[in-house]
Amino acid sequence: MNNTAVKIQEKQRQHSSLRPEVKQRRKVKLRLTLGEKLVLFSFLLFAIYASVKMVSNQVAIYQVNKQIQQLQGDINEQKKHNNDLYVEVQQLSTYERILEKAKQLGLSLNENNVKVVQE
């Protein structure tokens, strides 16, 4: 019997050595010093400030571009109005029209008083 007891003990040892030992994991607590906390806090503040600044800059750029587009539209309208007025001036300053207006006002054409001006 002694021999069988030894064999059983050896089997138990083999089985226990084959089983992987479960190691208990220790929770690693992250300890931050006061200086590290200050650096982390200042970095977070800077990141928030930078993101807000970028968004506000984009909004300002958008508003300026919108104003530029409105001004360009106003300029185009003014150019069109000026061109229309120029065409009207050209039509109203024809020789025939001036002569007709002069006759309506009672003026007569005296060829001795007419001087030719070349442009």
Question: Model-level pTM?
Answer: 0.52
Asked if residue 86 is part of any domain, the answer here is: yes
User: Phi then psi for 44, rounded to 5 degrees?
Assistant: -65, -40
Asked if residue 43 is part of any domain, the answer here is: no
Asked if residue 101 is part of any domain, the answer here is: yes
Ordered per-residue pLDDT tens for the chain, 119 residues: 567 777 777 777 766 655 555 677 778 788 889 999 999 999 999 999 999 999 999 999 999 999 999 999 999 999 999 999 999 999 988 888 888 888 898 888 777 777 777 76
Which residue segment(s) compose the domain that 91 sits in?
59-107
Asked if residue 69 is part of any domain, the answer here is: yes
How many folded domains does the chain comprise?
1
User: What DSSP string runs through the chain?
Assistant: -HHHHHHHHHHHHHHHHHSPPPPPPPPPP----HHHHHHHHHHHHHHHHHHHHHHHHHHHHHHHHHHHHHHHHHHHHHHHHHHHHHHHHHHHT-HHHHHHHHHHTT----GGG------
Asked if residue 82 is part of any domain, the answer here is: yes
Asked if residue 13 is part of any domain, the answer here is: no
Asked if residue 19 is part of any domain, the answer here is: no
pLDDT computed for residue 75 by the predictor: 98
